[in-house]
Chain A
Amino acid sequence: TQLLEQSPQFLSIQEGENLTVYCNSSSVFSSLQWYRQEPGEGPVLLVTVVTGGEVKKLKRLTFQFGDARKDSSLHITAAQPGDTGLYLCAGEGSNYQLIWGAGTKLIIKP
């Protein structure tokens, strides 16, 4: 069974700080996606990484796919209150299904 573990489960930091959240597995994924979900709304796709070692940047957000395509990280530089939300990673498994992590709840305090 393919599983994705996200850490930390919860993170509360001050505006302006940097942070990294992780998405780890013992399984290989053909691609991995990050979504952000705000309270009461549906998740929104932020990025898809496909190649081992790939790094993608989205303004202050940097996403990295592990060399072995088993893990990923999301780094936020100079966090802002608008970054608050639930960050979910999802890996595309061997049967063309998405395996979801449980999420990291991020709160950025002004």
Chain B
Amino acid sequence: DSGVTQTPKHLITATGQRVTLRCSPRSGDLSVYWYQQSLDQGLQFLIQYYNGEERAKGNILERFSAQQFPDLHSELNLSSLELGDSALYFCASSPDRVPLEQYFGPGTRLTVT
């Protein structure tokens, strides 16, 4: 158990809909990262938040957005969903130190039908 929690575990929705994925980082970790992983693919970095502020952006679509709240939990919002958005979405957290090591949650499996 990494200490990172994600909800829900599974999500099935229709095209055009909007969903929110939630992540709680490990106790004391200030950074939260979001990744997308399509079937049999590597990890695609989406976005990083540090202590409530956006720190880095990866290949995140304009239809996707995220935020980190004062209690450090984070939400990833996916809107106008398309079939191609079906994937595993992972959240990771890391402490504010180097070397940079990330601890991953169990993921949310999103299926868009």
Contacts and interface: CB of A to CB of B under 8 A. Distances in A.
Contacts, number: 56
A105 B39 CA distance: 12
A34 to B, nearest CB: 11
Interface of A: 30-31, 33, 35, 40-45, 48, 50, 88, 90, 92, 95-98, 100-103, 105
B53 interface: no
Nearest to B104: A42
B25 interface: no
Contacts of A40: 88, 107, 109
17 contacts: A40-B107, A42-B2, A42-B4, A42-B90, A43-B43, A43-B104, A88-B43, A90-B102, A92-B98, A97-B45, A97-B48, A97-B56, A98-B100, A98-B102, A100-B43, A101-B42, A102-B42
Contacts of B105: 42
Contacts of B107: 40-42
A103 to B, nearest CB: 5
A32 B2 CA distance: 20
A2 B92 CA distance: 21
